[in-house]
Amino acid sequence: MNYDPPTPAERVVARKRWIRCLVFLLVILAAAYYLIFINQYVVAYKDNVDHFKYGSIGSEPANGFPILVFKALPVMFRDELGPTGYRRFGMLYETEQSELPVGMSRRIITGVERVWLNCAICHVGTYRISLNDRPTYLYGAPANNLRLFDLLKFFLMVSRDPRFTADNLIDTINSPAVGGHLNVIDRLIYRYIVFPRVQTALQHLAQQVSFISRQADWGPGRVDTFNPYKAIQFNFPMDAAHITDAELNGSSDFPSIWQQRPRDGMHLHWDGNNTSVDERNLSAALGAGVTPVTVDIAAIHRIRRWIWTLAAPAFPVPSAIDQSKVERGRQLFATYCAGCHGMKNAAGQYDYDTNRYPRLGQIESLDAIGTDRDRWASYTQNFSAAQNTLYAGYPWRFTHFSKTGGYANQPLDGIWARSPYLHNGSVPTLRDLLEPSACNAGSACRPAKWYRGGDILDTAKVGYRSDGYGYDVKDLFLYDTSVAGNSNRGHEGKAYGTELPSADKDAIVEYMKTL
Amino acid sequence: MPQAADATFLHEDNAALIFSPLKFRHLEVKNRLFRSNLSGMFDEYNGYGGNTRLNWEEKFAKGGVGCIISSYTPVAVRGRILVRYAMIDNDDKIPFWREIGKRVHQHDCRFIMQLSHSGRQQDMGGIENLFKVAQSSTNQTDFFHGILARAMTVSEIHEVVEQFAQGARRARAAGLDGVELHGANGYLITQFLSSGINDRTDDYGGPVENRARFALEIVRAIRREVGPDFHLQMKINGVDHNNWLYPWKKKGNTLEDTLIICKMLLDDGKGVDSFHISSGSTFPHPRNPPGEISARALTRWYGGMLASGVRTRFNYAIFKNPIGGPLFQWLWRTRRGKIIEGINAEYARYLRSAISKIDPSIKFLCTGGFQHASNIAGVIRNGSCDAVSMARPLIANNDLPQILRTANGPVKQKECTYCNKCLVNDLANPLGCYEVSRYDGDTFEEKWDNLVKSVMSVYQPTLFR
């Protein structure tokens, strides 16, 4: 028998208290659920450059690694990567203590910190003038060091490697090299949730991009823009029955992304398939691992505002410009080049006026320009149509993509910082570009095989040094122009200045240093 | 003290000891069983006693106790503790108290009046005190209910001393058998005696001799009024245990302090005639009355005190909280300790052995959970005290003295369980035993009906028939 029962009023009060408690608990749970499992957390950067370097654009939710897994992989596979870890792929760590390289961002999703790529991974380059210089970072320049092909192959290797197990992963994370202190709950999460998801994702990726085994190595500073895109975004069949070798070998250089305002309306991408900077930005973001539902549109817009007016860098060694030749070079440039590329006006500012330079931003037919056709071939009609379905449901849905008949002419602002040259980066320096591609005995020609991947600038010929100077050639990439997609033909002939006397060619190069 | 029967002595031996008379210097009591200070809100708001109070006191005289010590009787309205308790603040109260004495004496039971002043422990001061701040030794607010206090000036102290003296005079004039000074359990005299409360820097505060000055002045003033042959006893804390609720508070007087005070109050044989040993510098206190505390009962009946202090709302929130209430109950139990019956016996023993060496005619009463003959006889036998006072066990069984003649205690179901629900209910309801399990009945409703009958029995016989 209960000797101390509640009075009728006390019963009602107690019941109301229970209900209040329950409601309060539910509200707390809902808030906690929202804050942990729905809300995402990023690092906000005050400075636009920092945001560009490390800010998240929304690639982590669909494609990011948990940061501890990302940091563990080079330790687990030290034999393959060596002691420098991801630096082997040309990723730029600002200091020895930097946790992530430039071009990688972090985002906390469902309580787990994940990392993945942003725009800066492909659009920050470096240069050195002398061997002992520390590399100078160029924000917005093509990532001349980045070996994306090798990075992709590394992840594919991890997906197949028997050493990639939950036990090894957890042990590596807990080791001092990574320094993650996984408690007993974390270990369970990593064993039963994180590891299986990472492995599944990597295996899925390996299966999607299995075609890369049929591709020529992209090399440092280059990317096969659209074939992975076809597989990952649209699940296009990529086997030999559906994709020709020509379509498969369209690797091209990363571009610079400064001065976008004057470019809006010009034909963008090497083959000019889109005239909208905004669409081009969002399309490129997909290449960084963003998806239409995970894109951080505000972050993208912030970068867009920054690159809209980002100034092209000036030639770093003004004393290396032979001023006596610049005027002659300017006249020659105005005659031979400006019609398609624009040039600087009398006030010293780059003139993008397509009324004055009517071929600027326009597409040159393949036959006219004569450069390697594989990049053009890799962008197909079907793919273009499929692209125009992307971001459906959002105001920024794609509508401008189209298949073109050739390659587009670009402004040459900051051209000194954009080597190697031609869409497929087949010509190392500006001076080389002014020579013909065919090598006849006695006359100069463009180099058929040369080293790329270094960042030491040749201030005379303008472009990264291609002779292997300052490097162990084992660490460089031997670019072979005879490999499919790598041809250095095109953009040559009388109209392109390759038949001018040598002194004139020198002058043009001197002038181009000032652009 | 063991609660089981002490096998060395037969019940007959215990009963013989318990029912042997006790001689004080100026008082003789027929047995060793005193009813301790106990009453309910039975009187008029203005301090006049009534029919119900007469019924209440007579109940216990009929039950067989040797002497009744009254509930606290305020010597001034300013010193009221709860409303609707009779006072001795004016000569016009004498006729009522005379009637009490007559009723009680009919059963060969003595009656000692406890002279009281609340000081700052004024639980329900009533409308007369609504706009006054309570008088005390200190300006410190009480830490339990947050009742505000103002330190008395020396002339106010003299005034209150005189109020006690006049109260004693009136008690003698009413034909009562003696007076007790309410110097224990946190009321005004404790507020001066205790090092945990008294923070004065004048002659009435500081070392123990100064702190005892107030009580000594009262003793002397009473003697001046009633003479040397009227029984005067002092109720005093063996140990204060002032820090029971908030451990950072000062812990108050030790047993050694109390001994010094007792010696002073003997006043070379001119002072008090006996001591009544309790403990706890607040009321209630986990040690006094020792037992449990019911958070549910507090939630129901503490509301009447909400206007009295600044911490009452906080306390109430704790009592009614589903976690705070049980936590408070647990704290109460923990601070009390394991012993209930005879909780103060060791204090009484220490004091009695020291004082009897000085003056063997001084007798000692001890209070604290006594209910069983073996324990009562035990503490008398081992020199802890000369008699015991009981309160709650007598509410549970008014005729406990009859029971103890032939049994060690009441049957198990009827024993006082020390639940203290009587105490908490007293704030709003008629004082009685509110422990449902003690009552007969097969259902809760039956038991509750019997409980109500028992509690309401104090109103019988009615005044008009």
pLDDT digit string (tens) for B87-120?
A: 999 999 999 999 999 999 999 999 999 999 999 9
Higher-confidence position of A440 and A140 = A140
- Closest-CA residue of chain A to B299: A10
Distance from CA of B333 to the nearest CA of A (A): 18
- Does pLDDT of A262 surpass 90? yes
| CB hemisphere CA count around A52 (13 angstroms) | 21
Distance from CA of A28 to the nearest CA of B (A): 19
Residue segments in chain B with a per-residue pLDDT below the cut of 50: 1-3
CB spacing of A1 vs B294 below 8 angstroms:
no
Chain A residues lying within 8 Å of B424, measured CB to CB: none
pLDDT value of position A442:
81
pLDDT value of position B6:
56
How far apart CA A300 and CA A42 sit, in angstroms, is 14
How far apart CA B89 and CA A324 sit, in angstroms, is 121
Percent of chain A with pLDDT over 90: 93
Strands A222-223 and A252-253: antiparallel
Interface of B with A (CB under 8 A): 294, 296, 300, 322, 435-437, 443-444, 447
Percent of chain B with pLDDT over 90: 98
Most A CBs within 10 Å, among B293, B294, B296, B417, to test the A interface: B296
Among the partner residues A2, A7, A10, nearest to B444 by beta-carbon distance:
A2
- Does pLDDT of A111 surpass 90? no
pLDDT value of position B5:
52
pLDDT value of position B2:
47
Distance from CA of A9 to the nearest CA of B (A): 11
Among the partner residues A5, A7, A10, nearest to B444 by beta-carbon distance:
A5
- Does pLDDT of A443 surpass 90? no
What average pLDDT does range A19-26 have in this prediction? 96
Distance from CA of A3 to the nearest CA of B (A): 6
Residue with tokens 């000032």: A514
pLDDT value of position A245:
86
Domain at B11-416: CATH code: 3.20.20.70
- Does pLDDT of A318 surpass 50? yes
Distance from CA of A389 to the nearest CA of B (A): 59
Determine the distance from the C-alpha atom of residue A364 to the mean position of all C-alpha atoms in its chain, rounded to a whole number: 25
Which two structure tokens, joined as six digits, stand for A81? 């990567």
Chain B residues lying within 8 Å of A4, measured CB to CB: 294, 296, 436
CB spacing of B436 vs A4 below 8 angstroms:
yes
- Does pLDDT of A145 surpass 70? yes
Please give, one letter per residue, the 3-state secondary structure of chain B: CCCCCCCCCCHHHHHHHHCCCEECCCCEECCCEEECCCCCCCCCCCCCCCHHHHHHHHHHHHHCCCEEEEEEEECCHHHCCCCCCCCCCCHHHHHHHHHHHHHHHCCCCEEEEEEECCCCCCCCCCHHHCCCCEEECCCCCCCCCCCCEEECCHHHHHHHHHHHHHHHHHHHHCCCCEEEEEECCCCHHHHHHCCCCCCCCCCCCCCHHHHCHHHHHHHHHHHHHHCCCCEEEEEEECCCCCCCCCCCCCCCCCHHHHHHHHHHHHHHHCCCCEEEEECCCCCCECEECECCCCHHHHHHHHHHHCCCCCCHHHHHHHHHCCCHHHHHHHHHHHHHCCCCCCCCHHHHHHHHHHHHHHCCCCEEEEECCCCCHHHHHHHHHCCCCCEEEECHHHHHCCCHHHHHHHCCCCCHHHCCCCCCHHHHHCCCCCCCCCCHHHCCCCCHHHHHHHHHHHHHHHHCCCCCC
CB spacing of A3 vs B436 below 8 angstroms:
yes
Locate the domains of chain B by residue range: 11-416
Most A CBs within 10 Å, among B420, B434, B444, to test the A interface: B444
Q: Are B115 and B180 in contact (CB under 8 A)?
A: yes
Q: Is the ipTM of this complex over 0.95?
A: no
Among the partner residues B300, B322, B437, nearest to A3 by beta-carbon distance:
B437
Helix (H) or strand (E) holding A105: strand A104-109
pLDDT value of position B386:
97
Chain A residues lying within 8 Å of B322, measured CB to CB: 17
pLDDT value of position A440:
86
pLDDT value of position A246:
86
Most B CBs within 10 Å, among A4, A18, A21, to test the B interface: A4
Strands B387-390 and B33-35: parallel
Specify whether B246 is catalytic. Answer: no
Which two structure tokens, joined as six digits, stand for A55? 């800010």
- Does pLDDT of A312 surpass 80? yes
What average pLDDT does range A387-409 have in this prediction? 95
CA dist B242 to A22, B145, B206, B351, Å?
A: 40, 14, 17, 20
Percent of chain A with pLDDT over 70: 100
Catalytic annotation, pick one of B85, B187, B302, B434: B187
Interface of A with B (CB under 8 A): 1-7, 10, 17
List, in order, residues 6 or more apart from A267 with CB less than 8 Å away. Answer: A273, A274, A275, A361, A362, A363, A404, A408
CB spacing of B294 vs A4 below 8 angstroms:
yes
Chain A residues lying within 8 Å of B437, measured CB to CB: 3
DSSP secondary structure of A439-482: --TTS----SEEEES--BEETTTTEE--S-TTS-GGGSEEEETT
* pLDDT confidence tier of residue A441, bands split at 50, 70 and 90: confident
H helix runs in A347-469, sequence order? 366-369, 374-378, 381-387, 430-433
